[in-house]
Structure 1
């Protein structure tokens, strides 16, 4: 019974996060296409690891650990790359948002004066390559984090 309460709380938090993302990024930011990560697709995950290693690991870490002090802006005004493991906030975002953040970059999604060192990968990686890299990331999370992320996706779909 206690686990169901934790899971319900996770879903509620996920819905609140989704509301915040839509409010921050705008209502059209999530309308691009329907995206579903596939962490159980071993072939896709293996491809995703190669893509992650070649394009993401230099900033987000070979073990998804991110950069030090990732919550504090540096002297350049930019936030360091966050971890993509369970200690970061990646799993707090639904698949669609993760895809669009990767494809377009946070600055393009947020608009205005938002600063980020994270580039968008549109024109660099195909949509399937972005999904593969994100599926690899998700495949590395503990089972309970994957379950909570799945609930966030379900909440976002409604």
Structure 2
């Protein structure tokens, strides 16, 4: 075998060990199902009447599909909400049933969940969310 042939085989072998985007999305889906679906729905549908306060005064869990507002927020805000919880991010006495997952989920797991959510959005919502995230990052967010 030539040196270039051996290098090619090593490269192909390394690629086989590298997780594909589909694998990462599958991991994100499983992480979502394990940590988020109990409130936000297995199909990203959220809780019924998610815009109407519950008797507690808190809002139900919103959907994460295109019918919700998740795609309106930049990645930075979505990461903070997942890690710290909605009340901590909103502040000013806002109350929410959304807990923070800091210490329970790693940053890589949060990214995998976000990648999964984005993979389920139509192109228009993905493009909008990418623009919002880019503008937020450019502004120092």
TM-score (norm 1): 0.72
Residues 78-97 of structure 1: pairs in structure 2 closer than 5 A: 78-97=58-77
Task: Let me know the Cα RMSD of the aligned residues.
Answer: 1.3
Q: Number of residue pairs matched? A: 119
Matched with 1:9 is: none
Residues 56-135 of structure 1: pairs in structure 2 closer than 5 A: 56-135=36-115
The C-alpha deviation readout for 1:106-137, integer Å capped at 9, x for no partner, is 11122342110000000111111111111101
Q: Which structure has the larger Rg?
A: 2
Secondary structure of residue in 1 paired with 2:29: helix
- Segments of 5+ residues of structure 1 without an aligned counterpart are 1-39
Matched with 2:30 is: 50
Provide runs of 4+ in structure 1 moved above 4 Å: none
- Segments of 5+ residues of structure 2 without an aligned counterpart are 1-19
Q: Which has the higher contact order (CA 8 A, sep 6+)?
A: 1
